[in-house]
Amino acid sequence: MVTLLCCGPKMAACGIVLSIWGVIMLVLLGIFFNVHSAVLFEDVPFTENDFQDKNPPQEIYRLYEKVSYNCFIAAAIYALLGGFSFCQVRLNKRKEYMVR
Amino acid sequence: MSCVPLNLVSHKSGIQFYPKCVTPNSALCESFCSSLNTNLVLNSGRVLNQTNEHRHNVLTSAAVNIQNWKTKVKKMKAIYHTLNLCSIDITQKLVIAEIWCPVSDLSEIHSALIKGSEKSGSSLHPVLHRIESQQTPPTFNRTTSFTSSFQTIIDSYGVGDYQEINPAPFTIITFPFLFAVMFGDCGHGLIMTLFATWMILQEGHFKRLKNELSDTLFSGRYILLLMGLFSVYTGLIYNDCFSKSLSIFASAWNVRAMFQPTGPWTNHTVHSSVTLQLDPVSPGVFSGSPYPFGIDPIWNLSSNKLTFLNSYKMKMSVIFGVVHMLFGIMLSLGNYIHFREPRNILLQFVPEVTFMLALFGYLVFLIIFKWCAVPSSASRRAPSILLHFINMMMFSYPESSDSFLYGSQKRVQIFLVVTALLMVPWMLLVKPLIILKEQKKEQRSTKELNPVEVNMGDVFVHQAIHTIEYCLGCVSNTASYLRLWALSLAHAELSEVLWKMVPHVALSARAYLGSLMLTVIFAIFAILTVTILLIMEGLSAFLHALRLHCKFAGVPVTLFAEFSPEMSQ
C-alpha cells in the first residue's frame, strides 16, 4: 500500500495552524462581505458599468455577495487542508510509536 | 656461541613445531600446509572474535556506570570548588565561609546548615554570625519566573545601587505598553497573544529543548503575552485589524447629510470632483457624539487619513513621553527619601521637576487645551502649537492678540520660561557652593587633623555635567518619544500595503476561479504577515521600546550572584 504519509511533523503542524487561521479569517471575511461592510468597499471588483445601474445599489450588493461566496469556498478548501494536515499529524505520531 | 636447544626455546616461547616437509611439492606437504593455514585462520579469527566480545562487555558494563561516575565527579568538583572559596580556621579544624545573604533568608540558611550537618552525622553544628562590614552589599532583586524576564531587561542596561528603587516592577506594564503603542494592530496582537499562550502552556516541552534561539524566545514568553494583550488594546484604539477598521459601533459621520438640502453637495458636485471633503460644521454630518472607543472607522476609507492620524499620534507620543519622564523623576524622589537626603530633594529634585513641568508640562497642557477648547468652526484660524511653542522660547509675541489660545497666554508663558531658565543655575551652582562652604567650615574647626579632602573641581564638574545632561536630555528624550508615532505609522502603512498587494488581488478577481486564487494567496498573505509584520516589526518595536527604557539605567554595580552547584563548573 502506498504510504499516505507525505509531510514531516513540522510541516503538518504548520499546515494545521495555517488551516485554522485560514478557516477563521476567511469565514469572518465572508460574513463581513455578506453584510456589505463599507470598510471592505475597495476590495469589491466593481467597474464603471456597475454604477450605471437602474436599481442601485443592488448591483454592488450582488458583487459583494459574489466575493463573500468566494471567501466561503476558500474557507471550505482550508477546512479540507486542515483535515488532511491533522491526518498527517496522526500518522506521524503513529510512526513515532512504531519505531520505538 | 652457545646453542640453546630449539626444543627449549620453543617450549618457553610457545612456538609450535611441526614435522618438517622435505619435498616442498609433495601432496602430503600441500595438504599439511593447507590444514595449517586453515588452523591459523580459524585461530586468529577466534582470537579476534573473543577480543571484540571482551571489549564489548567491558564497554557495556562501563556504560551502565558512566552517568553515575560523571555525576559523582561533578559533585566532587563542586564541593572542592566551594571549599576553595572558604578559609581555614587557625586551629586547622574548621572551615569559615563569608557570604552575602538576604536578611529575610537568614533563618532558612541557618536551618539548612543544621540539616546538612545532621545528615552528614557530624557532632558540631555550624555557627551563623552576622558581621558588620564597610563594603556595599551586592544588589539582589528577588524574582519569580514571571518577573525575571523584565528584571533581565532592566539589568542589561545597568543595575541599581544597593537599596535603590528597582524600576523592574513598573517595567512590567510600561514596556509592553510602549511596544503596543508602536505595534498597534488587533489582528497581529491576537496572533502574538495566542503564540505566547501556547508557549506558556507547553512549558515542559520547551524546557527540554536546548536550541539557543528557542531558549531566548521561550524565556521571553511572559513579555510576549503582555505585549500581545496590550497590542490588541491599542489595535482597538487605532481601529486597525490587518489594516482594516472594525465598525463595532456606528460611525459618527454621516455622508448623506452633505447632500442638498442640508449640505452643499449636488449631483453635479459628485460627478465633477475627484475627492470630496466632509465638513463637520455642516448640520448633521458629524453627529456630535464621537465614536465611543477608538478612531472612527470612516477614517479608514478617507484619503487624508494620515493627516489626521499623524497629528493625533505625534501629540499622543509627546504626552506619553513627558508622563514617562516625570514618572522616572518621581522614582528618583523615592530614592532620595529612602536614603534620607533632604538636601538632594531641594537641590536636585525640585529644580528638575520644575524645569520639566514649566516647559514640557506646559506643552502637554497646550495640546490638551487645544483639543478641548478649539471648536471645528474655528478650524481655519486654529493656532499652531508648534509655532506658539517656538515663539514662547524666543520671547516673540505678535501685536494682535487674537491668535492666542487663551486670554493671559503671554503673561503665563513669560513667567514659565523665566522660571525654567532660573532652574538651570539653581541645579548648576547651589549644591557645589554649599559643599564648598561646609568644607571651609570643617577646615576652620579642625585645623590640626587632616579632614577628608573633597576635590572641589570634581564636584563642580560633576554637577555641571549632570545639569547639562539633564536639560539636554529633557529635550532630546521628549523628541525621541516621537518614535512611538513613527513606528506605529510604519506598521500601519506596511500592513496596508501588504493587504493591497496580496489579498486585494484575489478578492478583486472577477474570474470564477477566485476562490482557488484566494486559497493560495491567503497562504502567501499569512506567511508574509508572520515574517514581515510580526517578526520584523515586532523585533523593531521591541528594540525601540527597550531604548526608551534605558534612562532608568544607573552606574554599573555588582549583582548578587547566587550560589548553586551548577555555577561551579
Is residue B173 within 8 Å of residue B181, measured between CB atoms? no
* Cβ-nearest to B247 among A37, A44, A45: A37
Number of Cβ atoms within 10 Å of the Cβ of B135: 8
Rounded to the nearest 10°, the torsion over CA B264, B266, B269, B275 is 70
- Strand partners for B286: B253
Residues of A in contact with B295 (CB under 8 A): none
* pLDDT value of residue B141: 86
Pick the range with the lowest mean pLDDT from B111-120, B318-327, B371-380, B558-567: B558-567
Distance from CA of A45 to the nearest CA of B (A): 4
Cα angle value B313/B316/B318 (rounded, 5°)? 115
Which of B192, B246, B255, B515 to substitute to test the interface with A, most A CBs within 10 Å? B515
* Comparison of pLDDT for B504 and B508, the residue scoring more: B504
Contact A22/B504, CB-based, under 8 Å?
Answer: no
Nearest CA in chain B to A29: B507
Residues of B in contact with A42 (CB under 8 A): 301, 504
Contact A39/B300, CB-based, under 8 Å?
Answer: yes
Over chain B, what is the mean pLDDT?
86
Q: Measure the CA–CA gap between B546 and B524, rounded to whole angstroms.
A: 31
* pLDDT value of residue B540: 93
Q: Within B106-220, where are the H helices?
A: 106-119, 148-157, 168-183, 186-201, 203-208, 212-219
Which residues of B touch chain A, with CB atoms under 8 Å apart?
191, 244-247, 297, 300-301, 503-504, 507-510, 514-516, 518-519, 522-523, 526
How much helix, strand and coil, in percent to the nearest 5, is found in chain B?
Answer: 65, 0, 30
**Residue A1 near chain B (CB below 8 Å):** no
B566: pLDDT strictly greater than 70: no
User: Residues near B298 by Cβ (< 8 Å), separated by ≥ 6?
Assistant: B251, B253
* pLDDT value of residue B39: 86
* Mean pLDDT in residue range B342-370: 91
Task: Point out the residues of chain A with pLDDT beneath 70.
Answer: 1-3, 99-100
H or E element that contains B95? strand B95-96
The alpha-carbon radius of gyration of chain B (Å, integer) is: 40
Distance from CA of B255 to the nearest CA of A (A): 12
Which pTM was predicted?
0.83
Contact A78/B519, CB-based, under 8 Å?
Answer: yes
Which of A19, A39, A60, A73 to substitute to test the interface with B, most B CBs within 10 Å? A39
Which residue, B285, B284, B305, is CA-closest to B295? B305
Cα angle value B286/B290/B293 (rounded, 5°)? 145
Contacts within 8 Å (CB) and 24+ apart, B309-316: B309/B238, B309/B489, B309/B492, B310/B485, B310/B489, B313/B484, B313/B485, B313/B488, B313/B489, B314/B482, B314/B485, B315/B367, B315/B371, B316/B181, B316/B484, B316/B485
Contact A45/B508, CB-based, under 8 Å?
Answer: yes
Which residue, B135, B158, B150, B31, is CA-closest to B555? B158
B21 three-class SS: coil
Pick the range with the lowest mean pLDDT from B123-137, B474-488, B547-561: B547-561
Contact A77/B516, CB-based, under 8 Å?
Answer: yes
Pick the range with the lowest mean pLDDT from B281-285, B432-436, B454-458: B454-458
Burial B493-521, CB ≥16 within 10 A → b, else e: ebbbebbeebbbebbebeeeebbbbbbeb
Q: Within B427-480, where are the H helices?
A: 431-445, 456-480
What's the half-sphere exposure (Cβ side, CA atoms, 13 Å) at B123?
0
Which of B241, B249, B504, B518 to substitute to test the interface with A, most A CBs within 10 Å? B518
DSSP B223-283: HHHHHHHHHHHHHHHHT-BTTB---SS--SB-SGGGBTTTSSB-HHHHHH-S-----TTST
**Residue A22 near chain B (CB below 8 Å):** yes
B567: pLDDT strictly greater than 50: no
H or E element that contains A15? helix A9-34
Residues of A in contact with B509 (CB under 8 A): 45, 70
Give the pLDDT band of residue B467 (cuts 50, 70, 90).
very high
Which of A37, A40, A41, A42 to substitute to test the interface with B, most B CBs within 10 Å? A42
Distance from CA of B387 to the nearest CA of A (A): 36
Give the pLDDT band of residue B398 (cuts 50, 70, 90).
confident
pLDDT > 90 fraction of chain B, expressed in percent and rounded: 39
Q: Measure the CA–CA gap between B91 and B114, rounded to whole angstroms.
A: 22
Is residue B467 within 8 Å of residue B432, measured between CB atoms? no
* Mean pLDDT in residue range B215-238: 93
Q: Measure the CA–CA gap between A78 and A30, rounded to whole angstroms.
A: 14
Which residue, B493, B501, B540, is CA-closest to B243? B493
Distance from CA of B512 to the nearest CA of A (A): 9
B537: pLDDT strictly greater than 80: yes
CA distances A57 to A43, A46, B222, B507, Å, are 16, 12, 49, 20
Residues of B in contact with A40 (CB under 8 A): 244
Supply the DSSP symbol for B39: H
Residue B484 CA, distance from chain mean position: 16
B450 three-class SS: coil
* Comparison of pLDDT for B9 and B255, the residue scoring more: B255
Contact A43/B519, CB-based, under 8 Å?
Answer: no
Contact B301/A41, CB-based, under 8 Å?
Answer: yes
Give the pLDDT band of residue B343 (cuts 50, 70, 90).
confident
Contact A41/B508, CB-based, under 8 Å?
Answer: no
Distance from CA of A3 to the nearest CA of B (A): 26
* pLDDT value of residue B447: 66
Supply the DSSP symbol for B286: B
Contact A40/B519, CB-based, under 8 Å?
Answer: no
* Mean pLDDT in residue range B347-357: 92
Residue B497 CA, distance from chain mean position: 29
B317: pLDDT strictly greater than 90: yes
Give the pLDDT band of residue B568 (cuts 50, 70, 90).
very low
Which residue, B250, B193, B241, is CA-closest to A25? B241
